[in-house]
Each structure stands twice: as C-alpha cells, then as structure tokens.
Structure 1
Amino acid sequence: MATETAPVFNEVALLFKSLHKPGDPLVLTNIYDEASTNAVISLNETTPHLVKALATTSYGIANTFSVPDGSLTFNQNLAAIQKIAPLARSANLPLTVDLQDGYGEFLEQCVHRIIYAGAVGANIEDSYSEKDFSDGMDSLRSVEESAERIRLSIKYAADIGLPDFVVNARTDVMRLEPIPEGWTREMMIQESVKRGKAFLDAGATCVFVWGRGVGQITKEEVKLLVKEFEGRLAVKLPTGNGRLSVKELAGLGVCRISIGPSLYGKDMHALRNKAERILMGDHHWNEGD
C-alpha cells in the first residue's frame, strides 16, 4: 500500500496528455543526461514554447553507464531520471520517461518511484528488455499480459494521486528481425493493430509503433494505423534521406513524434569527429559550427 503521494500535481499530467493532438502532434527530442536536458530546455529562451515537454531515452541513458540498452537496470535508469526531473520542474515542462518493459515483477515500485522523481508519463513496451528481437513472437509478451501491465501502471499511478498518468504503449512487432516464420508484412501490421487497440482499451494515451530496418513503417501503414487508432498513434521520426518529416507525419494525423536514441547517436558522432580532427592537428576543426 503506497503511503506517499505524487510530488507533481495531476494537472501536469493532464496538461501533458492534452498535448497529444492528432494532426498537431507533440514532438519530443529525447534527452539522456543533464547536459542534453539543459540544451533542449534552452531552446525556449530564444523561441518561447518551442519545447513543450521532455522525454528520456533509455538507450542514451544506458550509454552514459556504458551498458547496452537491454542491460540498463532500473536503479541506473532512475538515477538519471532523478537528475533530469528537477531541471524539467524548474523549466515548468512535463517529463515522461522511457521505462522499457516496466522491469518485470517490479512494475508497481518502478511506476511509483519515477512519479516520486517527477515524471508524469512513461513509455512501456511489450517486448522483453533482456531479449533481442530475433526470437520471433517469443521476444514479446502476450497481448493480454501487455495490456494488463498498462492497466496496472495507470492504477499504480492513480493510487498515489496521479490518475492521468500518460502511458505511451509501445509495440515492437515491427522490430522483429527476421520476420517470424510464416508471417507476412500485412500480418505484422494487423498484429500491431490488435495489440494497439488492446493497449488503448487498457488506458494508454497512445500507441507507439516502432519499426526498424525492414520493419520501418511506410506512409501507407502510418495512414492505416492512424485510422485504426483514431489518431492516437505515436511514431519515431525516421532518419535518413527520403524519410517522412515532422510536417508530413503531422499531415497524416499522428499525435506524437519522438526521435528516440537518434540524437544521442548524432551527438556522440559529432564529438568523436571533432576530437579526431583536433588530435590529428586540424586547425579548422571547428569550421561549420
């Protein structure tokens, strides 16, 4: 039985939930430490209200601990969240965090502790964090178990005074590589739809369908998912030439767009490149900044 109450008002969760508008999506540039958080927050100094909320990436946080994403412990994740949350609070920005799969049997404790830290929402995925995506459907929890975990996470939040806790329910069907034997692309999309609808029925604010490689969702698939979820679709902003832009995704009717681990990757690539140029004696290493 929880004896503490949430340190953030439910009004903050309601505000965060209200930002998920089909056709006018919330755009999140995921952060992973204090420096990246401050960098994103500072954008509001030059362009007020450009940044509407903050979201963490477990991949980026894991790398700050020099561990693979799937090996990130909850205590490590929480330690990073506890450093980021005060910055979000000072900037009057809602914070949502990447809770991976909810950490198994410790879901209740995890939900409570991230809320006590200052979060008003979380990503919860239907895959097992400790597995990769090569075991076919065995890489994923069942629809029923996943939906129940979403329902419980919202209940656990309500128990401590945050009934409008925002769950971005991620399904990883489209991340499975290779495609499970006997499955077609259409079957995988339909499985994503089935799971997504179950997650919405369980109380999720939106459904995050994340594909990669051959599973990268197409424009037509985005249209289908938007229709099936009545606009409550969250997507990762694709990287690379010819990919759908924020404007195009908004036009398709999604309600939320995030960058996931991509900013972390770009940040580290830029740092490595600059460091190499300095060490190689390049006098023009800072040109182009």
Structure 2
Amino acid sequence: MTDAAQRLRSLHHDRAPGDPLVLPGPWDAASARAFAEAGFPALATPSAGVSASLGHADGQCPGDEMFAAIGRITRAVRALDVPVTADIERGYGLAPAELAGRLHAAGAVGCNLEDSVGGHLVDAEAQAGFLAAVREALGPETFLNARVDAHLRGVADPLAEALRRGRAYVAAGADGVYPIGAPPADLAVLVRELGVPVNGLARTGGPGVAELAGAGAGRVTFGGGLAARATEGVRAMASKLRAGRLP
C-alpha cells in the first residue's frame, strides 16, 4: 500500500468520536496549496468547484479536463505529503479499469462515485455491481466513497432508501458512504447502522462541522461551497476595483 493511500485510510479510521476528518475542497492547485499549508492533513476535490474553475456547469465538465485538474491539485501538495481524494461524479462513462487507471495516474488515492444521473437515482443493484467492479479495478488501497443521493431526489422515505443503498454499497466494497444532503438525525442512524465512515456535507446556513460531528460523521466535506465563497470574494473585489476603491 502506498504511503499516501495508507495515510488517507488512517485519517478516516484512527479518530475519536466527535472528531471527523475535515476535508476542504480545493478547486485548483493554488487553493490546494493554501489548504495544505494551513495544516489540513488531506483534501477532497469537489466536482462542482473544479467544474466552475474550468468554466463548466456542475456535471458538465469533460472527464479529460477533470482528471487533468485533479492531477494539478495532487502535484501541488505532493511535497507536503497531503493525500487527495477526488469527486469523479459518475465516472464519465469510463469502464472500471480505465476509470481506476485515470484516477491513479492523476495521483488521487480516494474517490467519490455518485448514484444518480440526470436528476434520477440509478438502480441500486446496478450501482452496487458498478462499485464492486470499480473496487476490483482500484485494488485494496484506494479509498472508495459511495455517494448516496436518496435525500436529493425526492424519494418518499429517503432514510430507508439511503440505508438500503448504503448497505448494498458497503457489501460491494465501498470504504465509506456519503448520504449527501442527509440531515444530522438521519446521518446519526446511518452512522449507527452502516459500520463505515459516513460523510456529512457542511453547508452555509447549516449543518456545520460541529453539528455533523455531533451526529457521528466520520468525515466532513463541503461540496462546491468553498469554491463558491471564494468566487463571491473575487466578485466583491472586482466591484471595488471597478469603482476605484482598490489601489
């Protein structure tokens, strides 16, 4: 097992209760370097933030561009020994072996794979089969985080559906489960039932890191939120510059 992969795994598992792994989401090499230099031990690229930095809407970034961006991010923090896990959406239509090869070539030692397309959940059994094939192609080292979109897609009982899918994905070889958008009460149930690190999404307006930690999240990410906040800062700076209020 590579040192970076082992470090990422240890960061997920060697934790006290209420102390989740907080993973900022860099959208380019400069932001990755800034987060790493601030002392974060690992990073998680967000597909939405990376897409926006490349001029694409969320979900519209070509795979070649996404993997190239992931490669720039991993190179930016390699000397600091900071492992990177990458959001690779639905895998860009790549076969599992090619997907694993592209991820490894980009230098990432973990990935997210989501279970909806075009705003709809894919069949849970089909997704479990896909994850099992990706797990085999990745080998045992790479941390495979299975995103569960039940809370995003308007299902009648999102917690029950998230539990059903989460169990299937863990059985297929997922190392963690990411019930994106799940409220803390549901997150606590998933943590108790699934037996793997559960990823909570921190958002402006809540829930925040502390609330997700209290629910038992083993890992906290921010989606494209940090990139969006940085862009708002640039817009504010641009307005001041246009008005002549910056030197």
Q: TM-score range by the shorter chain?
A: over 0.9
Whether 1:193 and 2:163 are equivalent positions in the alignment is yes
Identity %: 31
Q: How does 1:1-289 map to 2 (within 5 A)?
A: 9-21=1-13, 23=17, 24-44=19-39, 51-128=40-117, 131=118, 133=119, 139-158=120-139, 163-176=140-153, 179-180=154-155, 183=156, 187-211=157-181, 217-230=182-195, 232-240=197-205, 243-282=206-245
User: Tell me, which stretches of 5 or more residues in structure 2 are unaligned?
Assistant: none
User: Alpha-carbon deviation of 1:10?
Assistant: 2.9
Q: Is the 8 A contact 1:74 1:110 kept in 2?
A: no
Aligned-pair Cα RMSD in Å: 1.7
Instruction: Name whichever of 116-125 and 101-110 sits farther off.
Output: 101-110
Structure number with greater Rg is: 1
Moved over 3 A (4+): none
User: Alpha-carbon deviation of 1:142?
Assistant: 0.9
Count of residues paired in the alignment: 244
Partners of 1:75 and 1:170 lie apart in 2 by 22
Q: Is the 8 A contact 1:96 1:121 kept in 2?
A: yes
Partners of 1:147 and 1:253 lie apart in 2 by 24
Query: C-alpha offsets along residues 262-284 of structure 1, whole Å, 9 cap, x if unaligned?
Result: 001000001101110121133xx
Letter matched to residue 167 of structure 2: K
User: Alpha-carbon deviation of 1:246?
Assistant: 1.7
User: Tell me, which stretches of 5 or more residues in structure 1 are unaligned?
Assistant: 1-8, 45-50, 134-138, 212-216
User: Alpha-carbon deviation of 1:64?
Assistant: 2.1
Secondary structure of 1:174 counterpart: coil
User: Alpha-carbon deviation of 1:107?
Assistant: 3.1
